[in-house]
A and B are shown apart, each in its own frame.
Chain A
Amino acid sequence: MRPARATRAGRTGHPFARYLIQRILTSLLLVVGVTLVTFTLTNLVPGDPVAAALGQHAAEDPAIVASFRAHYGVDQPLVVQYFTYLGNLVHGDLGESPTTHHPVLEDLQVAVPATLEIAIGAIVLSVIIGVVLGTLAAYRRGKVTDHVLRVVSLLGLSVPTFWLALVLYYVFFFKLHIAPGSGRLSAIYAAPPTVTGMTTVDALLAGQWDVFLDASAHLFLPVLVLTLYTVGLLTRFVRTAVLEILDMDYVRAARAKGLPGRTVVWSYVLRGASIPVLTIVGLAFGSLLSGTVLVESVFSWPGLGSYAFKAASNLDLPGIMGVGLVIGIIYLGTNLIVDLLYSVVDPRVRLA
C-alpha cells in the first residue's frame, strides 16, 4: 500500500501543492471574468468620457475629439477595445488616466498600499477584539455582559461610517487636539523611501521611528472608524459560532479531562469555531474595502476609495476599470488566503 501511494504522489505532486495550483489557476480565470465585467459595465455608462475629459469647448472641435479618441483608443469597436485592453493588461499596462494623465498602474501603486494599510490595520484589530468579545458573549450567554455586548455590536453595525468618521475627526482633532490632521503624514516629515507603499511599514524598514509614530498616529482614526463596524460584525458571528461549538461533545470531553478553562477555550472551542470565523473574516475584509471610500474622503487618505471616487466623477474609464480590477483581485486573493487557512486549521481539509 505504501509504495503504491508513493508512486502516485510522485506522479501528481503533493496533494496540497496540487490543490494550491488548482486554486491559483481558477483565480486567474476569475480575474479574466472580472476584466470582462468591469469593461462591459464601464462602457455601458451613459455619458461621454470625451466631453467629461475635454470640457464643452474642446468637445465641440471635431479635430480635438478625434485625436482624443485615437489617443485613448476609443475610436475602435468595443470588442477590439476589450482585446486591446486585455493584451495591454498582460504587459501590466492598464491604460492612461485622462484625469491624472498618469498611467493607471502608477496611480494604483500609490492608492492600493494606502488603502491596504488601513484595511489590514482594521481587520487585525477587529479580529483580536471581535474574537475576544464574541467568545465572552457566548460564555456569558443571557447574562448582563452578553446584553451589553449585543448593544455595543449593534451600535458598531448601525452607526454610519462617514458620520462616525466626521464626529471622531471633529472631537479628536478640532476639539481635543489628540489626533493629527488628515493625510498620511504631518507636513514636517518626508515620506520614507517606498518599498511596500505603506507608510508605517516603509518607515520601519528605513528605521525612521519618528516617521513611524507620526504615520501610526495618522492611521489611528481611519482604522478606528473601520474597526468599530467590523468589531460589531465579528462579535455577533463569533458569538454564534462559539455557542455552536460549546454544545459539541468534544468540548464536554475536554472539560471531563479536567483541562483548565483557558485551555478549553483556546485549544478546543476556538479551534472548533475557526472555520466559520475565518469565513466571516474574509467577508468582513471585503466589506472593509468598500467602507474605505467614505472614510478616505473624510480623512483625505490618498487610497483606492478616493481614487475611485475621483475617477467615477470624471468618467475616467481606464481609472474606473483599474479600480474594479484591483478590487476584484483583492477579493479573489482574500478568498484564496481564507481557503488556504481552512487547510491550515482543519486536518480534514488538508489531508482529504
Chain B
Amino acid sequence: MNSLTIENLTISVATSSGQREIVSGIDITLERGRIHGLAGESGSGKTMTALAVLNLLPERAQLTGSIRLAPRDTTLGDPTEIVGASKRVMGAIRGRRIAMVFQDPSTSLHPQLSIGQQLTDHVRHHLGLNKRDATARAVELLTRVRVPNPEGALKRYPHQFSGGQRQRIAIAVALACDPEVLLADEPTTALDVTVQAGVLQLLRELVDETNLTVLLVTHDLGVMSAVADEVTIMKAGRIVESGPRQRIFTAPEHEYTRALLAALPGSTVEEDADTLAQQLAAAAELPDDAERLDDTDFPDRSELPDAPGDGTPPSLSDADLPIGSSVLPGQADLPDVAGFPSRPGSHRAESSATLDISDGPDEERTHV
C-alpha cells in the first residue's frame, strides 16, 4: 500500500541568472513498511526532495507537482496534498505524521536544550500529553532506540553523548509522535563507520516492527545496499533509475548507475579515478555537471581511518550488530564500504551558494 506519493515534482529557485531547476519532474512512490533509498551525488537534489515533502524549502524555492500523504487507514478519507498546503495543515503533519532525521545530530539537536525538552516539546504539542506522561513516553522512546540510562539521559545535553547516541536520540525525537513516514537525510554520514551499522540496524528494526515508511536519502551506496528495499538513483535533479534493490545492484540498466556501482570499493570492475570520472561525465545529462566532474579528486583509501575518531570507545551494541546482508560481492560488511568516494566538493559549494540549503558537509565528515 502506498504511503507517500511524489508525482512530477519540480523544484526551482530564483537565481541571478533566472529560474534554475534543482529537481525536475521526479516521481517516487513510498510503500508502507518499506525503506526507500534515494541515492545520488551531492547536489543531485535528494535532500531538496526530502525537505519538499515537509514543505520546509526556503521561500525562494518554487514547487510544482504533487506530494500526497495517504491516510493511515483508507477509510479515513483522501490523501492529503502537501504541495501548496496551508500552515495549519503542515503544522498537523510535520513531526506528527511525517518526521525527519537530519544528517548531523551534533547540529540538528539544540546544544542548549536538554534531551528531555527536545524529546517532549512536540509530543506535548501534538498529542496534548501532560509533562509527566510526555516524560514517561520519552523514557520509553530512549529505551527503544537503546540509549543507556534513559531517565538520566533526559536531564543531559547533546554534547554529553557520543555521535551514535546523539543520532539515536534524534531518531527517538523523530519517532516520538508515532509518525507514518520518516525522512532520513544521510542519517549515518556524520557517524563513525563502526556506529553507522548500529544506526542502520535500528532503522531496519523500527520499520519491521512498526510498519514505518522510510525515505532514506544518502550518497552512500554501501548504506543503500545494506538496508533499502527500493532504490531510486538521482542525478542532477532527475531520476536516473528506480527499482527494487536486488535489481538495481545486480542488473543496473543505466550507465550512470553502473558507474556509481563501479566506484564502490570491492567492486569487480577495476577502474582508476580518471576513467571513472570520464564515465560519470559521459553519463551526465547536463553539460555544466560534466565540467564540474573534471576536478574529481578521490581520496586515497589508505588514508582513511579505521578506528572511531571521537575518543569514545564504540559500544558493543553499535559495533557488533549484524546488518542486513548486502547483495554485492565484497559488500557483506558495512564498515568496508564507508569509504565510498563521494563526489567532489565543488558541487556542494555551488548548490549551497544558490540555495541556502545544502546536503551538508558529506565529504569532510566521511573521512574524519
The segment from A45-53, A179-187, A233-241, A254-262 found at the interface with B is A254-262
Q: Is there a chain A Cβ closer than 8 Å to B108's Cβ?
A: yes
Contacts of A61 in B (CB 8 A): none
Contacts of B100 in A (CB 8 A): 253, 256
Q: Is there a chain A Cβ closer than 8 Å to B102's Cβ?
A: yes
CB nearest to A261 among chain B residues: B87
B190 to chain A, nearest CB (A): 11
CA distance A178 to B103 in the complex (A): 59
CA distance A256 to B90 in the complex (A): 10
Count residues of B near A (Cβ-Cβ below 8 Å).
Answer: 34
CA distance A259 to B204 in the complex (A): 27
- Whether A258 touches B96, Cβ cut-off 8 Å, given contacts A249-B104, A263-B121, is yes
Contacts of B160 in A (CB 8 A): 351
The segment from B15-23, B73-81, B110-118, B234-242 found at the interface with A is B110-118
CA distance A104 to B117 in the complex (A): 52
Contacts of A345 in B (CB 8 A): 112
Q: Which of A74-124 touch B at CB < 8 Å? A: none
The segment from A159-167, A219-227, A267-275, A287-295 found at the interface with B is A267-275
The 8 Å CB contact of B110, one of A256, A260, A272, A351, is: A272
Contacts of A347 in B (CB 8 A): 111-112, 114, 157, 159
Q: Are A271 and B95 in contact (CB under 8 A)?
A: no
CB nearest to A345 among chain B residues: B112
Q: Are B56 and A260 in contact (CB under 8 A)?
A: no
Q: Are B56 and A256 in contact (CB under 8 A)?
A: yes
Contacts of A346 in B (CB 8 A): 111-112
Q: Are A255 and B56 in contact (CB under 8 A)?
A: yes
CA distance A260 to B113 in the complex (A): 17
CB nearest to A269 among chain B residues: B110
Q: Is there a chain A Cβ closer than 8 Å to B68's Cβ?
A: no
Q: Are B121 and A258 in contact (CB under 8 A)?
A: no
Q: Is there a chain B Cβ closer than 8 Å to A248's Cβ?
A: yes
Q: Is there a chain A Cβ closer than 8 Å to B99's Cβ?
A: yes
CB nearest to A275 among chain B residues: B112
CA distance A263 to B118 in the complex (A): 12
Q: Which of A189-244 touch B at CB < 8 Å? A: none
Q: Are A348 and B122 in contact (CB under 8 A)?
A: no
CB nearest to B170 among chain A residues: A253
Most B CB contacts (10 A, CB to CB) among A248, A250, A271, A347 go to A250
Q: Are B157 and A348 in contact (CB under 8 A)?
A: yes
A275 to chain B, nearest CB (A): 9
Contacts of B92 in A (CB 8 A): 258
Q: Which of A293-352 touch B at CB < 8 Å? A: 345-348, 351
Contacts of B292 in A (CB 8 A): none
Contacts of B121 in A (CB 8 A): 257, 259, 263, 267
CA distance A274 to B108 in the complex (A): 18
Q: Are A253 and B102 in contact (CB under 8 A)?
A: yes
Q: Are B108 and A272 in contact (CB under 8 A)?
A: no
Chain B residues engaging chain A, CB cutoff 8 angstroms: 54, 56, 90-96, 99-100, 102-104, 107-114, 117, 121-122, 125-126, 157, 159-160, 170, 173, 177, 356
Give the 5 A-B CB pairs with smallest separation, nearest first.
A258-B95, A258-B94, A257-B95, A249-B107, A257-B122
User: What are 11 of the A-B contact pairs (CB < 8 Å)?
Assistant: A248-B107, A249-B103, A250-B111, A253-B109, A256-B56, A257-B121, A258-B93, A258-B96, A260-B91, A346-B111, A347-B157
| 20 further A-B pairs in the complex, CB-CB below 8 A; given A253-B170, A267-B110, A268-B113 | A249-B103, A249-B107, A249-B108, A250-B107, A250-B108, A250-B110, A255-B56, A255-B94, A256-B95, A257-B94, A257-B95, A258-B92, A258-B122, A258-B126, A258-B177, A267-B117, A271-B110, A347-B111, A348-B112, A351-B157
Chain A residues engaging chain B, CB cutoff 8 angstroms: 247-250, 252-260, 263, 267-268, 271-272, 274, 345-348, 351
